[in-house]
Structure 1
Amino acid sequence: MHSSHLLRKGRVSKTNHYYALTLVCHLRRNHLNNLFINRRIIHEMRKLEIEKLITSNTFVLMPNHLHWLIQLSNSLSISEVVRKFKGRTATLFRKHYREKLWQKGFYDHLIRDDEDLVANARYIVANPLRAGLVKNITDYAYWDSVYLKI
Structure 2
Amino acid sequence: MRYRRAWVPGGTYFFTVTLADRSQPLLTEHIDVLRQSVREVRARHPFIILAMAVMPEHLHAIWQLPEGDSAYSTRWALIKAAFSRALLPSEQISLSRHLKREHGVWQRRYWEHCIRDADDLSRHIDYIHFNPVKHGYAKRPIDWPYSSIHRYVRAGLLPSDWAGETAE
TM range (shorter): 0.7 to 0.9
Partner of 2:12: 18
Question: How do 1:1-150 and structure 2 match up within 5 A?
Answer: 5=1, 9-30=3-24, 31-34=26-29, 37-73=30-66, 74-75=68-69, 77-93=71-87, 96=88, 98-99=90-91, 100-145=104-149, 148-150=152-154
Instruction: Report the aligned-residue RMSD.
Output: 2.0
Letter of the 1:33 counterpart: T
Unpaired runs of 5+ in structure 1? none
**Higher radius of gyration, 1 or 2:** 2
SS in 2 for 1:141: coil
Greater relative contact order (CA < 8 Å, ≥ 6 in sequence): 1
Contact 2:133 2:139 in 1 (8 A): yes
Contact 1:20 1:67 in 2 (8 A): yes
Would you say how many aligned residue pairs link Structure 1 and Structure 2? 140
SS in 1 for 2:53: strand
TM-score calculated relative to the size of structure 1: 0.82
1:12 Cα offset (Å):
2.5
Contact 1:60 1:125 in 2 (8 A): yes
1:80 Cα offset (Å):
1.2
Letter of the 2:17 counterpart: L
Q: 1:61 to 1:97 in 2, by over 3 A?
A: farther
Unpaired runs of 5+ in structure 2? 92-103, 155-168
SS in 1 for 2:10: coil
Which contiguous aligned blocks of 4+ residues in structure 1 show a shift greater than 4 angstroms? Answer: none
Greater strand share, 1 or 2?
Answer: 1
Letter of the 2:128 counterpart: I
Q: Distance in 2 between matches of 1:118 and 1:46?
A: 25
